[in-house]
Amino acid sequence: MASIAITPDEVADLKGLNCPMPVLKTKKALDKIEGGKILQVDLTDAGSKSDLPAMIKRTGNELLEMTEENGVYTFYIRKKLA
Amino acid sequence: MSEEKPKRMSIIASKGALDMAYPPLILASTAAAMDVETMIFFTFYGIDVVNKKKYANLRVAPIANPAMPSPVPMPNIIGMLPGMTALGTMMMKSMMGKINWPSIPELVEICLEMDVKMVACTPTLEMTGLTQADLIEGVEVGGAADYLDFALDGNINLFV
């Protein structure tokens, strides 16, 4: 559980998608928002637990938190400032 | 991190079978999502992956493919029979459908959208009588030196 509630600016529902789609769609969603804004991503692909952080790190964005509940993984990502 | 020179990856895609078309497209689109400059160089049968007339109908052959998934083990002699490639292809597509996997045309479109450089090998085009007009829009044409010029600065260079 989040100790401090994170309020996302955008939410991407990627449940049911498998590699490589969660990474591709998360990147697309990040490209659409402004720097500093927070994107919430919900997905069910267990492989994305390590895939998504790798992409987030390589693109210079920030993973604020990842939670897991009933097979749904939720990522909170802060987009880097341009 | 953003100050660094961008990472770069090149892939030579030389196969036109359904199962062999996926790895270059998946790796390239994912690399592009990771801000990696990416090129796929399509050569020989790999050209089929960006051939307008063929790319939606790539197939996988059960013959001489011991890893081919099948409800029952399939000896090569059966794989030789007419229709077995169509059957194998249908089975593989249904398995992909079950996990919501994108089709080859969808992945090609994603790659182009994400600025993956897609280059078709000129001698292969000449050999097979194809021109750039036969290829998906956005696919460029180039030769070995074009590939090497890009790949010499590559952090990852793969041959598929």
Task: Give the Cα separation of A80 and B104 in Å (integer).
Answer: 32
Q: What does the pLDDT read at residue B57?
A: 94
Which domain covers residue A72, as residue numbers? Answer: 10-78
Q: Say how many CB pairs under 8 Å bridge A and B.
A: 39
> Do the domain assignments include residue A2?
no
Predicted complex ipTM exceeds 0.90:
no
Residue B109 has a pLDDT of 97
In-domain check, residue A4:
no
Per-residue pLDDT, B63: 83
Q: What is the least distance, in Å, from the CA of A6 to any CA of chain B? A: 25
Q: Classify residue A72: in a domain, yes or no.
A: yes
B5-35, pLDDT tens digit by residue? 899 999 999 999 999 999 999 999 999 999 9
pLDDT of residue B136: 97
Instruction: Return the pLDDT at B2.
Output: 52
Identify the residue with better confidence: A56 or B80: A56
Does the pLDDT of residue A2 top 60, yes or no? no
Q: In this prediction, what percent of chain B has a pLDDT beyond 90?
A: 71
Q: Which amino acid is at A34?
A: E
Ranges of beta strands (E only) in A9-71 are 10-14, 38-43, 62-69
Is residue A51 included in any domain, yes or no?
yes
φ, ψ of residue B18 to 5 degrees: the values are -55, -50
| Domains delineated in chain B | 8-58+104-159 (3.40.1260.10)
Is residue A48, in this structure, part of any structural domain at all? yes
| A3 inside domain | no
Which pLDDT tens digit goes with each residue over B90-117? 888 988 888 888 999 999 999 999 999 9
Domain count, chain A: 1
**A54 contacts on B by Cβ (under 8 Å):** 34
Residues in CB range of B68: below 8 A, 6 or more apart: B60, B62, B74, B79, B88
Q: Is residue A40 part of a domain?
A: yes
Element containing residue B147 per DSSP (H, E):
helix B144-151
Query: Do the chains contact at B26 and A27, CB–CB below 8 Å?
Result: no
Residue A21 maps to a domain: yes
To the query of whether residue A4 is one of the catalytic residues in this protein, the response is: no
pLDDT attached to residue A32? 95
State whether residue A27 sits within 8 Å of chain B by CB.
yes
Report the C-alpha gap between A15 and A41 in whole angstroms: 9
| CATH code for the domain of A20 | 3.30.110.40
